[in-house]
Amino acid sequence: MKRAITITEVALRDGSHAIAHQYTTKQVATIAKALDEANVPYIEVSHGDGLGGSSLQYGLSRTDEFELIETAVAVCRQAKIAVLLLPGIGTVKELKQAARLGAKMARIATHVTEADISAQHIAAAKELGMETVGFLMMAHMAPIEMLVHQARLMESYGADVVYVVDSAGALLPHEVKERVRALRESLEIEVGFHAHNNLSLAMANTLAAIEEGATRVDGSVRCLGAGAGNTQTEVLVAVLDRMGIPTGIDLYKMMDLAEQLVAPILPKAQEITRDSLTLGYAGVYSSFLLHAQRAARMFGLDARDILIELGRRKVVGGQEDMIVDVAAEMARQKAAVGEGE
């Protein structure tokens, strides 16, 4: 039998972006319980932008995320609840509260060149007895040598795992292989991979990561995640089973909960639209999708033009406030051109 792969289900966190952070405690309880019964080992629950993310800038949550975390912990018998934290958005205070409520894994996420800001939070998570993951976002934006350096920093701070995170869904399979291989050759700890499907490559990229030695990967049931979603968990379980790679997850139960519980809450089917495709093409943070679409409606622009301009300016996660600024500037330029004709 081939080496087992550990899957973290992210629909109750990454999927928050797709539904504008409108999860209810009932939805989280129902979905988390079903995931637990399907033997999913880790379930991530928090605002899409992590602990403390509920704000005008990132999007206000319908339900306090700590209620959602407490709810998920209460209904799970074997699954461990994970939380995401972006230093500067979330603080050690929120991390401690999540731990008190029963969260067992902390995923500390930084831009791919900013691992140094994770030291305090990784150390705090370890002190709290939490399994700790370093999450290097927008991994396509840095040379491999820089990625390795940043991963080593997270390892030195105490991370148990470091993830290559394709936040924009912009990486191609050979680029995933190069990055995962470099980390496997440079770290003593496990390597993980988080995909987005904006170029229809989430599954291919996840398999490429596994081929190069990643032992932790993420999935979102029914593809419920930012942009065009993540690697679809129930499909991933089926594919890995076909490959003889154990996950410990019950395929039929995953299929059923995807169809019966998750599909009904989707505002629309998770598919690759012209705007989500543009995210991957331009290398833009997947959670910018709804923000860019709202800005496009506000200023009478094409969301694709906004996303392309954000990519040109190398805007990254945490700079959501710039989306409206960029759109307003583009609208002024468009109006000036119109007046000059």
Q: How confident is the model at residue 1 (pLDDT cuts 50, 70, 90)?
A: low
- Check residue 57 and give its pLDDT: 75
Q: Are 289 and 276 in contact (CB under 8 A)?
A: yes
pLDDT of residue 58: 77
Q: Is 291 a catalytic residue?
A: no
> For position 117, what pLDDT does the model report?
97
The encoded tokens of residue 137 equal 């976002």
Give me the catalytic one of 17, 21, 47, 111. Answer: 17
Q: Is 16 annotated as a binding residue?
A: no
User: Per the annotation, does 167 bind a ligand?
Assistant: yes
pLDDT tens digits along 216-246: 999 999 999 999 999 999 999 999 999 999 9
Q: Per the annotation, does 13 bind a ligand?
A: yes
Note the pLDDT tens digit of each residue in 15-52.
999 999 999 999 999 999 999 999 999 999 999 889 98
Confidence label for 321 from pLDDT (cuts 50, 70 and 90) = confident
196 annotated ligand binder: yes
Q: How many CB atoms are closer than 10 A to CB 39?
A: 14
**Is 23 labelled a binding residue?**
no
pTM of the model: 0.93
Percent of the chain at pLDDT exceeding 90 = 87
Residues 248-304 pLDDT 10s: 999 999 999 999 999 999 988 889 999 999 999 999 988 898 899 999 999 999 999
Q: Does 287-340 carry CATH code 3.40.50.620?
A: no
Give the CATH number of domain 6-265; options: 3.40.50.300, 3.30.70.100, 1.10.4160.10, 3.20.20.70: 3.20.20.70
Three-state SS across the chain?
CCCCCEEEECCCCCHHHHCCCCCCHHHHHHHHHHHHHCCCCEEECCCCCCCCCCECCCECCCCCHHHHHHHHHHHCCCCEEEEEECECCECHHHHHHHHHCCCCEEEEEEECCCHHHHHHHHHHHHHCCCEEEEEEECHHHCCHHHHHHHHHHHHHHCCCEEEEECCCCCCCHHHHHHHHHHHHHHCCCEEEEECCCCCCCHHHHHHHHHHCCCCEEEEEHHHCCCCCCCCEHHHHHHHHHHCCCCCCCCHHHHHHHHHHHHHHHCCCCCCCCHHHHHHHHHCCCCCHHHHHHHHHHHHCCCHHHHHHHHHHCCCCCCCCHHHHHHHHHHHHHHHHHHHHC
pLDDT digits (tens, 9 = 90+) for 121-169: 999 999 999 999 999 999 999 999 999 999 999 999 999 999 999 999 9
Phi/psi for 137 (5° steps) reads: -80, 160
pLDDT the model gives residue 269 = 86
Domain with CATH 1.10.8.60 in the chain: 287-340
Q: Which residues of 3-26 are buried (b: 16+ CB within 10 A; e: fewer)?
A: eebbbbbbbbbbbbbbbebebebe
CA distance linking residue 169 with residue 329, whole number of Å: 27
